[in-house]
Structure 1
Amino acid sequence: MQGVADTLREFWAHRPVRPRAGRKLGGVATGIALRYQIDPVIVRIAFVALALSGGVGLPMYLAGWLLLPEEGDQASPLESLLNRGHSSTSQGQTVLLGVLMFPALAFTFGSGGFQVFVTIAASVACIYLLQKNRGHLQPATTLADPPPTPPVPGAPAWDPLGAAPFAWDLPEPTPKPQPPAPRPRKPRVSGVTLGVALLVGAAAAIAGTWIPWFTAPHVVGLVIAVLAAGLLVGAFTGGGRGLIWLLVPLSVVGFGLTSVKFEGPANVGDLNFTPRSVGEVESRYELGVGSLVLDLRELPDSGAVKTQVESNLGEVLVHVPANADVTFRCEADSIGELDCLGKRADGTGVQVDGTDLGADGEGGLKIDLDVLTSVGEVRVLRD
């Protein structure tokens, strides 16, 4: 632990400097990349991945903005606010960054749970490994030099050339011609990584036919892991940047597969159901992708029915009779728009419920309706 603490203290003493050129926002990712001589794109992708992992990336980026000095400054914005050196970042901007930390931390720790602590621990471990293995490299950007030391009054000044004026015009030695340096061979990181990713993806797909719980998100996740490993190796060897064009869309697909719950049979397309008797009403209607219309207006005026409608992605429309007593629950667990018998809601994880007795009051056909969608629109209308 003492060695870990020493390494982290060394990281702070020689921390990255945010450059003025080549940065996208505050220069945090670019400064880290220049300090440890790795590809800046790798660091930016890491911050995006951390932002998607419980929101950890946002407060970490703000912390870097506050604690890492800018190129040419003597101190970081936060240190300058505490009168520990000069920073080109204004005090107003520093205060604003500090204020933004509060909602960022509240969102991160309020929604992430134990995953947040694991992600923070992994991030600290990565910083430790970077400093341990690449801390000896010279940073590409530096802090402002301290002001020069004024000469001591009364000290004698000595000019070495003044002591030997004849040496002023001595000819410079002619350098020997050097043979051209051989062009370094570019590592074939992209090709090797793509080959390994194809093999892993094929093996995972075959394994999915034998293991019931091994689904498409697992296959995509393994391929993303291989591509990310290749990109990380390429950051230190100087290759593999072409993998980004495949890794980014796959990451979007993987995020969608893991955030949206796709369960049940894959009923795709436009589905229409119009039961005409209580016995014809199914206990459950399912939609994979598309639209589903359930028309209950042909049912008799008496009796009781209970049904559930589930949709992964698409539109659900339920028509109920004018005089039926309807108890309803409508929910969008990922993101959606709800309009159920006059009660409306939209956004992520929204729900509305209630009981509507119709124009004639209590009595007549009773309907117990439960509508759930992952992503899409739900409407329950009385015609």
Structure 2
Amino acid sequence: MVRPDASATVVAMELTPLRRASSGAVLGGVCAGLARRWQVDPTVLRIAMVLLALLGGLGIAFYVGALLLVPKDGSSEFPLYRLAPFTRSWSPAAAIGAVVGLGVLITVAVGSWLPFGLAPVVGLGFLWYFGFHRRRHPHRPDAAGQPGNGAPSGQNELAGPSDTAALPTASTPSALPQTDFERAAAAWRERVVQERQGTPAGVSDVSAGDPPATLPLYEYRPTPPPAVSNWTPPAPRATRRRPKWLWPLVLCLLGGGLATLAVLSVVFGVIVPPLAYAATVLGALGLGLLIAAFAGRPRGLLPLAVVAGLVTIAMLVPVPRPGRVGTETVSYTTMAQLPTTEQNHGAGDVTVNLSGLDVTETRQIQFSQGAGTLAVSLPTTGNVIVEWSIGAGEYHGPDTSRDGIDLKGNYQRILTPGAPVLTVVLHTGVGEVTVS
């Protein structure tokens, strides 16, 4: 009998193919499958996925990749093959490469308007690896340094020098028993094998009249557990206090804060942003949770505070306007016609004609494109500066042509120093920018 090694359980778990869970799934079963694999609470992974989504959009890219590559329970085929039948002829390496490329595009497109970059993700990764992973899965010592390579500790206490030769041997040193019970069991199995073969080890020639030598056996005596003195049963768990007066207090704080903002807005004409209302709700609930830490928490206060916190965070994140979709062509011939705000186009082809524009004053115009082609014709005369950026795609201009990911650059055409300058700011998430 050999004791199960804890590291063997970890290795078996790591070799088990990952599957998306069918039971307990919320959105595709990715977090539930990982929680089942890592033996953790799925709620923790869901919260971590939301945080990763805010950190450069990495969580969104990872979740989409898992939905396309990780099969569900009872299946072994990439879901990508079922969602996109034309990919069935692709090899697994090609499918994984395509999904990784899609994840990069998602990260570039989404991460461009998120308030956080990828630097916190790298820091959290180092913290997880060195603070959790290395401590949970330490490197196993070399086989030569394990106690089982030599004679087991405590063996001399159980058998004398003459008994050492009769101990059962194994093919590898790591298979030697380690405990008293395992040594006794191994000796007994060896004794049974020798009896069945009819020639036990250490037996003299029976025909010569020598009595057969018996294989020494070990007596297993389990160590009794230590006695516990003055043991008292644990006290029954006290019923959690749920004060009835805390909810009215929180509602009074909430109503007073919202009423104050309404008076400032209506009576005194102060411009109160929507974020101030969400922050007031979150502040009242947070104060209620602080009081509940000492007086007891009523039902529903913590979930409502979590929802209010998520809403406040969502309002802090700038959300780009979806813009228009389709093909659009605009032309400007005078400075008065130039737009004063950023022109956003969701998807399609946009052509901006400035060739007939006379630059008579210093101005700046901005054009943003989600996906597609953005073509700009510059004025034939006057000073012009072009600042462009592309998440993933190509740029073609009078000065250079480039393609790749996260491209940025500028082009200057100063014909008359000191004269007014027109600055054109161009941005495309995925697509092509052409300046002529």
Given the two structures, how large is their TM-score scaled by the length of structure 2? 0.34
Larger radius of gyration: 2
